[in-house]
Amino acid sequence: MSEALLALVTGASRGIGAAIAHSLAPAHRVLLGGRSGEALARLAAELPGARPWPVELTDFEAMAEAVAGIDRLDVLVHSAGVVELGTVAESDVESWRRNYEVNVLAVVELTRLLLPALRAAGGHVVVINSGSGRNARAGWGAYGASKFAVRAFADVLRQEEEPNGLRVTTVYPGRTATEMQRAVNATEGTEYTPDAYLRPESVADAVLAAVTATPDAHPTDVILRPRRR
């Protein structure tokens, strides 16, 4: 009997990342990436074959040590992210740097480090982007710019690595019922109405559909929006 496929999901301790870990777990051994070892341990207890992978993604030396020994990787899902809002006039360079460090640089470096393992498995990279990665709007400058940047990275990676057997999918969810969305609503001064948003499980279903697509298909971009009610 062949060994289960291996997946690594960042941002797995809650929200969309946790939902994706649940969706992949039946057919994958899942490495649960995140900062809270306690939260990851609780999730690992729910998922047979899963184990915590606690790493600070902006500590690139620690990241390099954490990926050592991963020789084959079938699925890499970048779900970790931060959002700091503000107008251009209000947002200092540190706000721009924090958005870019997690939303772009961590994605780039983790992917680069794992490329040999992904190539060995003919793997699949999934980047959880945002509606802000397709449409920029006032008050979301630093975050939106980081999402446009990681969109460009995924497009370039797809062109470069498809000849090596890799597939690269970018998922653009609309507003999703997560704690991050609750925080965004608080910043905007708007009501958090989870029933009006996507469920994290709906985003996870889209990720699962992408990674289980038949070998002849390359799902490149998946756009999800909450259904109007």
Q: Which residues are catalytic?
A: 143
What tokens appear for 133 in the block? 């990665």
Q: What are the strands of the beta sheet with 124-128, ordered from one edge?
A: 51-54, 28-34, 5-9, 75-78, 124-128, 167-173, 221-224
The burial class, CB within 10 Å (0-12 / 13-18 / 19+), for 69 is: exposed
Q: Which residues contact 102 (CB under 8 A, 6 or more apart)?
A: 57, 58, 80, 81, 82
